[in-house]
Amino acid sequence: MQELTHYINGAHVAGTSGRAADVYNPATGEVQSSVPLASAAEINQAVDIAAAAQPAWAAVNPQRRARVMMKFVDLLHRDMDKLAEALSREHGKTLPDAKGDVIRGLEVCEFCIGAPHLLKGEFTDSAGPGIDMYSLRQPLGVTAGITPFNFPAMIPMWMFAPAIVCGNAFILKPSERDPSVPLMLAELMEEAGLPKGILQVVNGDKEAVDALLDNETIQSIGFVGSTPIAAYIYERGCANGKRVQCFGGAKNHMIIMPDADMDQAADALVGAGYGAAGERCMAISVAVPVGDETADRLIEKLVPRIEALKVGPYTAGNDVDFGPVVTAAAKANIERLVQTGIDQGAKLVVDGRDFKLQGYEDGFFVGAHLFDNVTKDMDIYTTEIFGPVLSTVRAQSYEEAINLAIDHEYGNGTAIFTRDGDTARDFANRINIGMVGVNVPIPVPLAYHTFGGWKKSMFGDLNQHGPDAFKFYTRTKTVTARWPSGIKEGGEFSIPVME
């Protein structure tokens, strides 16, 4: 069994806490490696190293920092297959989906190559008599990120790429369920020219998280995960004076209007609902057809598509639609919620409960499920299932449909499928959700826009990647300067005002 490490000060370092976690192969259910869980002392050691290395990195001009990111992008392309295979082996994603995970992170790194422009300040000439005023964007210092299992390449890069190119050092605490790719990314960043100590990976659990939150040197914390933990990290981080950005759970609705292209809508729902076994915060988990006729047509289109899905390990080829979920506990929770849906009166149209894959009986595979006649008081509607389960809630009008999404506590993403521009425009303007798709099922913005939900899906003021990332990882300093043309006598004792 492989013994994984931390990555501290440019080297793989064994854990010293005496605690470790098993890393599984989700397809077989077997333990394939062990990852050390850091103590607070190990976290603090990494922070001290980062604090010592960061000032010299901040003094490097933005263009040279951007060149490191440029080289890193080249290395990601070079090692794409290696990264995807490692990701699939620990997470369970198909290889094409794993490559998509890497590429979405790579695109943020490409955006960060524009750091020299994005870090420019502002200048006002002659703000007063002989006075110039200018603003600077300066790095925070040592920053940190806590990232989830479902995107072990993309989300770390969403955090550390802008943080580092802004001149900060970064401590990454990835998910202990699939830690290999984050360790590989740290190696590649240093191969690209990043100084030792600027990007470090420290594996851990709650003890490590609390140590990051309580360390006075760390200036900001980023987090992606469940809403209860997001709220905890936000509250504790803010109480400790840190800048905090936390992204939580989701329950993403897709409204299907009667005029929608039903084949297009069904294809979109299958991909958005079952891709990555539903383990995406932007997965569509609730279909809302408007009118019973629309619902009946949609269900008719969905059933054969769902029943034809190929479920299997990533090694079975690129035609596999989705693989296992990440742990046995995740599988058990999904199965529990499916049974709750049945018990509470939803109609299970496609039943994946008896799914078994020959040769992989001990793997964490879950079959695809489709519910109809789901109501908003059911657990499968209120709870983020994070599995291959799609719920259909029938609405009798557009107003009823949009209010379902508006009234839900989560506000990460949503979509509407329609041919009517007026309806789509009204939906986009009225909906209280951060990311909206019009005939696009998973509206994850590209790297030069920002990613972020509303309501209980996000805690904080600034989104991930895009221009917001450069605001989050820098502070604005404003300088007012006057250079007297001659010797001035006497002080000024009243506040200066414009005349």
Q: How many CB atoms lie within 10 A of CB 314?
A: 24
Cα–Cα distance for residue pair 349/442, rounded to 1 Å: 24
pLDDT-based confidence at 498, cuts 50/70/90?
A: low
413 strand-pairing partners: 435
Q: 391-406, pLDDT tens digit by residue?
A: 999 999 999 999 999 9
For residue 41, count CB atoms less than 10 angstroms from its CB and return exposed for 0-12, middle for 13-18, buried for 19 or more: exposed
Q: 280-338, pLDDT tens digit by residue?
A: 999 999 999 999 999 999 999 999 999 999 999 999 999 999 999 999 999 999 999 99
What is the residue whose two structure tokens read 């005023």?
A: 133
Cα–Cα distance for residue pair 16/393, rounded to 1 Å: 51
User: Model-level pTM?
Assistant: 0.94
Stretch 411-432: mean pLDDT: 98
Cα–Cα distance for residue pair 381/383, rounded to 1 Å: 6
Q: How far apart are the first and last CA of the chain?
A: 76
20 strand-pairing partners: 36
Asked if residue 486 has pLDDT above 90, the reply is: no
Three-state secondary structure string covering 81-110: HHHHHHHHHHHCCCHHHHHHHHHHHHHHHH
Q: 72-131, pLDDT tens digit by residue?
A: 999 999 999 999 999 999 999 999 999 999 999 999 999 999 999 999 999 999 998 889
Q: In the chain, where are the structural domains located?
A: 2-248+457-479, 252-438
Architecture of domain 2-248+457-479: 3-Layer(aba) Sandwich (3.40)
Q: How many residues does the chain have?
A: 499
Q: 121-143, pLDDT tens digit by residue?
A: 999 999 988 899 999 999 999 99
Give catalytic status of residue 109 as yes or no: no
Structure tokens at 464: 């991930």
Max intra-chain CA distance, the chain: 91
For residue 460, count CB atoms less than 10 angstroms from its CB and return exposed for 0-12, middle for 13-18, buried for 19 or more: buried
What is the residue whose two structure tokens read 């000439």?
A: 125
Residues 6+ apart with CB under 8 A from 192: 68, 69, 71, 72, 74, 75
Q: What is the DSSP string of 394-451?
A: -BSSHHHHHHHHHHSSEESEEEEE-S-HHHHHHHHHH---SEEEES-SS-PPPTTS-B
Q: What CATH code would you report for 252-438?
A: 3.40.309.10
